[in-house]
Amino acid sequence: MEKKKVICVGEALIDRIRNKSNQGFTDFLGGAPANVACALRKLKIDSIFIGRLGTDDYGKKFITQFNELGVNLDFLQVDDNSSTRVVNVDRDQFGDRFFSGFEESSHSCFADEVLRKKLIEKQILNLEASFLESKYLVAGTILLSSPISAETIFFILEQAKKFEVKIVIDLNWREVFWDHSSFSSEISKAERINLIKKFLNHANVLKLAREEATLFFEDEIPLLISQQLSNKPDVIITDGEK
């Protein structure tokens, strides 16, 4: 069987981006894994999204978008007791965007923080069938900021490797997700970095920004970064507008 599908695991969230005067904003459906799942479908590549959404209007908008594009949602978790995350993206004095925190929620946590391993285990046969047809699994590191979702994503990676699915990781370091989490706000920056580097050892392909390369590996040369990781992954470094 030829493997053609791509599984995307992680967050689907709202990017609330302020305009250049910081007086108004526009909401965009976002989250790197969700973006990848949608972009793949636009390229006529079958994709599967594994994540967790609230039952709020934002969650419903995501489901509508996924369905319109034909993203497989067999493993999507929907939660009445947590909210879909809304990220505030503000502008500095130069008009550049930066993450400033999250919209307040009436719930104690965001849906992406409580992706449940038990619910994935209940669908293990279906998941294994999907792995048989999948060439890549794409993930980021934001789910690691909660031990609940971290346990789940590590479990999914281990299952994927049994079926020789290649692991693509977008480092996507967003410290604000850790600083504002009830699960990880007390974890030191060094502990956060060590947990993420452990996760990166699963990668067959690693994408990271230049500043992430410097922070996590004290290097900007892809080959030397690759040599620091167990799987010696292919490494891609981006550099903003350059």
pLDDT digits (tens, 9 = 90+) for 138-172: 999 999 999 999 999 999 999 999 999 999 999 99
Write down the pTM of the prediction: 0.93
Q: Is residue 97 scored above 80 in pLDDT?
A: no
For the chain, the average pLDDT equals 92
What's the confidence (pLDDT) of residue 217? Answer: 96
Question: Exposed, middle or buried by CB within 10 Å (0-12, 13-18, 19+), for 50?
Answer: buried
- List CB contacts of 99: < 8 A, sequence separation 6 or more: 87, 88, 89, 174, 176
Calculate mean pLDDT across residues 1-5.
Answer: 85
Dump pLDDT digits (tens) for 26-68: 889 999 999 999 999 999 999 999 999 999 999 999 999 999 9
Structure-token match 């302020």, residue found = 18
For the 5-11+32-82+108-203 domain, the top CATH level (class) is: alpha beta
pLDDT tier at 95, thresholds 50, 70, 90: low
Question: Where in the chain are the domains?
Answer: 5-11+32-82+108-203
* Contacts made by residues 16-25, CB under 8 angstroms, sequence distance 24+: 16/86, 16/87, 16/88, 16/89, 16/103, 17/89, 17/97, 18/88, 18/89, 18/90, 18/91, 18/97, 19/91, 20/91, 20/95, 22/90, 22/91
